Structure 1
Amino acid sequence: MAASEQGTIKPAPNFNAETDSETLSKAMKGAGTDEKAIIDVLTKRSSDQRQEIFTKYKSMYGRDLVDDLKSELSGNFRDVIVSLMRPKSRFDAISLRKAMKGLGTDEEVLIEVICTKTNSEIESIKTEYKAENDRDLEKDIVSETSGHFKQLLVSLLQAKRDESTTVDAAKAQADAQALYDAGEARWGTDESKFNEIFATRSYAHLQKVFQVYPTVSKKNRSITDAIKGEMSGDIQNGMLAIVGCVQSRPTYFAEKLYKTMKGLGTKDDTLIRIVVSRSEIDLGTIKQIFKDKYGKTLHEFIHGDTSGDYRNALLSIVGN
């Protein structure tokens, strides 16, 4: 994690899983539910601390905390709180299964989860997916997607990206030329060459490739414009997600958050998924970029687009 990246949720000082378990039990006991107490506890504890609460709650009361929360809460508020109770890789695994279950596939979720992860994150997600669903993630991806998009996701699931930080300028120049030759320079696009470079090269190397690409392009195009000109649909979106994360992962997620709330209606599933999954990684950085880019704070956007306990939970995670 870059030094400039920071989350909004930190481990709570003076943490006591027993006290928190008592608070949560009391909040769900009897008629009515104390939603504020639930928000105050679960949005202000780290993921590891929430797992300690989960274990302590079961040992104290012989009940499953997540099941109790599901039965007491409803709607988007329940989704936020239950999502917080999932360890990060399990949450990603559950999101992927949900995206592929039933009729149709939510490719946007596949892109957001798989195209933005490090090797170790992908390995953890594959393990959790198997444990949670007794299914193989790669097999499900193969059956639910097709063509070049499928090939990109399968390549990324191998978790074989070079993670070195040293950059060979000559190799970067050669890769930029190879991308030009595979796209703008020919009739039709050789997506397999884009796939090979985008799925296996280090982020540091790709940064250099994207930096020099306009000098190779006869039209002085950026790599983003080249992809938009050469591809369409899910493969284009997947490639652009990788470009976005190479250039700035927090900026990529700031832009995604903006899209969930601009215009009519709010894409609540995406909003919840990003706020929860980035809360301990770089949500603080995302907030700053969001404000700089859109002139309003993320807090203001959420306040205007959500309501009730759902809004209160999100705002508590995001902070001021």
Structure 2
Amino acid sequence: MSYPPYNPYGTPTLRPAEPFNPREDAEILRKAMKGFGTDEKSIINVLAYRTNVQRQEIAVQFKTLYGKDLIKNLKSELSGNFEDLIVAMMMPIPYFLAKEVHDAISGVGTDEETLIEILCTSTNNDIHILCNEYERTFGCSMEEALASDTSGCFRRLLVSICQGNRSENYYVDQAAAQSDAQALLRAGELQLGTDESTFNAILCSRSYPQLRQIFEEYQRVTGHDFTTAIENEFSGDIQAGLLAIVNSVRDRPGYFAERLYNCMKGFGTKDRTLQRIVAVRCEIDMVEIKNSFLAKYGKSLQEFIADDCSGDYKKTLLALVN
């Protein structure tokens, strides 16, 4: 299987509104929520066409003009998935993702899928911002919180990722890639049992271009894909985490396209996952995600959303991805 060339950048579907007048937008939102009934169309026309940074400016203007918190006002006027999506869109992205991580490890049980999606696809800069925001918001380090709620190989993987110390050298060292491929082979397929620390060390510290070369070398030597080794050597959360890293290295838009497909296919929708991915990735690489979605599933992301969602919730999602 061929993978797209490595590209650290993406193309957003949502760009800053120009011209932009946050005071005027705040006035429109106030009018939409004042009195009897709510003008949902006006709320969508403002918030779904402004970037996250612009929405923060609108919120400041709203509080300045009316002495009210915009998010609280929106929550009192909206309901259901539409409310959840709008509120997610209004939170600063670092805070929103920190809260998603916190919620994933709070209460009974752990939402490992959310942790994997957020952490295993993040860049060093993403991780540093997320760790700082988590500690500022929740009063403890994200690393400690994750370590106390997970165990074993999966805990060690998340702790390694929390360091945000992956190489960012885009130069590919062929000899080093061959050496790492051999080390991975010895740590897994060529021995009884698995030396998970070798997998952890290589997958959490090598640059994305270097990892792509390591995977190619592994396939050249063994005749099968590196994911086969992970599937054979690991199980459960650690397997899912390592596979997420591999898939993100090879094709990050493809990884998110698959996440979106899985949260909408079949009966019922994993709306929180859908909202999180759309609200965040629309400002990063949603164009590539949409292209990958269409190529993988023969149907556009917009068509899937239109079939799976309804009302103002659907309209907002479609505005963000178009």
TM-score computed with the length of structure 2 as normaliser: 0.96
Structure 1 counterpart of 2:314: 311
Alignment of 1:240-259 (within 5 A): 240-259=243-262
Asked if the contact 1:180–1:216 (Cα under 8 Å) also holds between the matched residues in 2, the reply is: no
Asked if the contact 1:89–1:128 (Cα under 8 Å) also holds between the matched residues in 2, the reply is: yes
Secondary structure at the counterpart of residue 243 of structure 1: helix
Q: Aligned AA for 1:11?
A: P
Q: Deviations over 1:137-179 (max 9, x none)?
A: 1111011100000000000001110011001100001001111
Structure 2 counterpart of 1:83: 88
Q: Deviations over 1:19-42 (max 9, x none)?
A: 100011111111111111111111
Structure 2 counterpart of 1:52: 57
Give the Cα–Cα distance (whole angstroms) in 1 for the partners of residues 151 and 280 of structure 2: 27
Q: Aligned AA for 2:19?
A: N
Give the Cα–Cα distance (whole angstroms) in 1 for the partners of residues 34 and 165 of structure 2: 49
Tell me how far 1:181 sits from its aligned partner: 0.7
Alignment of 1:154-303 (within 5 A): 154-217=159-222, 220-303=223-306
Q: Aligned AA for 2:35?
A: G
Q: Which runs of 5+ in 1 are unaligned?
A: none
Give the Cα–Cα distance (whole angstroms) in 1 for the partners of residues 54 and 201 of structure 2: 40
Give the Cα–Cα distance (whole angstroms) in 2 for the partners of residues 268 and 3 of structure 1: 28
Tell me how far 1:4 sits from its aligned partner: 6.8
Give the Cα–Cα distance (whole angstroms) in 2 for the partners of residues 26 and 134 of structure 1: 37
Give the Cα–Cα distance (whole angstroms) in 2 for the partners of residues 192 and 40 of structure 1: 50
Asked if the contact 1:57–1:64 (Cα under 8 Å) also holds between the matched residues in 2, the reply is: yes
Tell me how far 1:263 sits from its aligned partner: 1.2
Asked if the contact 1:214–1:222 (Cα under 8 Å) also holds between the matched residues in 2, the reply is: yes
Structure 2 counterpart of 1:143: 148
Root-mean-square deviation (CA, aligned residues, Å) is: 1.2
Q: Deviations over 1:281-318 (max 9, x none)?
A: 00111011111111110000011111111111111111
Q: Which runs of 5+ in 2 are unaligned?
A: 1-5
TM-score computed with the length of structure 1 as normaliser: 0.97
Alignment of 1:95-174 (within 5 A): 95-174=100-179
Tell me how far 1:3 sits from its aligned partner: 7.7
Over 3 Å counting, the alpha-carbon distance change for 1:32 and 1:270 in structure 2 is same
Over 3 Å counting, the alpha-carbon distance change for 1:215 and 1:155 in structure 2 is same
Q: Aligned AA for 2:243?
A: L
Give the Cα–Cα distance (whole angstroms) in 2 for the partners of residues 23 and 130 of structure 1: 35
Aligned residues: 317
Asked if the contact 1:172–1:209 (Cα under 8 Å) also holds between the matched residues in 2, the reply is: yes
Q: Aligned AA for 1:34?
A: D
Give the Cα–Cα distance (whole angstroms) in 2 for the partners of residues 114 and 123 of structure 1: 11
Secondary structure at the counterpart of residue 69 of structure 1: helix
Give the Cα–Cα distance (whole angstroms) in 1 for the partners of residues 295 and 180 of structure 2: 33
Asked if the contact 1:9–1:45 (Cα under 8 Å) also holds between the matched residues in 2, the reply is: yes
Give the Cα–Cα distance (whole angstroms) in 2 for the partners of residues 156 and 136 of structure 1: 13
State which of 54, 74, 77 in structure 1 corresponds to 2:79.
Answer: 74
Give the Cα–Cα distance (whole angstroms) in 2 for the partners of residues 135 and 315 of structure 1: 37
Tell me how far 1:216 sits from its aligned partner: 2.1
The 10-residue stretch of structure 1 (177-186 or 125-134) with the greater mean CA deviation from structure 2: 125-134
Q: Deviations over 1:232-259 (max 9, x none)?
A: 1000000000001100110110011111
Secondary structure at the counterpart of residue 44 of structure 2: helix
Over 3 Å counting, the alpha-carbon distance change for 1:228 and 1:117 in structure 2 is same
List 4+ stretches of structure 1 deviating above 4 A: none
Over 3 Å counting, the alpha-carbon distance change for 1:187 and 1:3 in structure 2 is closer
Tell me how far 1:5 sits from its aligned partner: 2.3
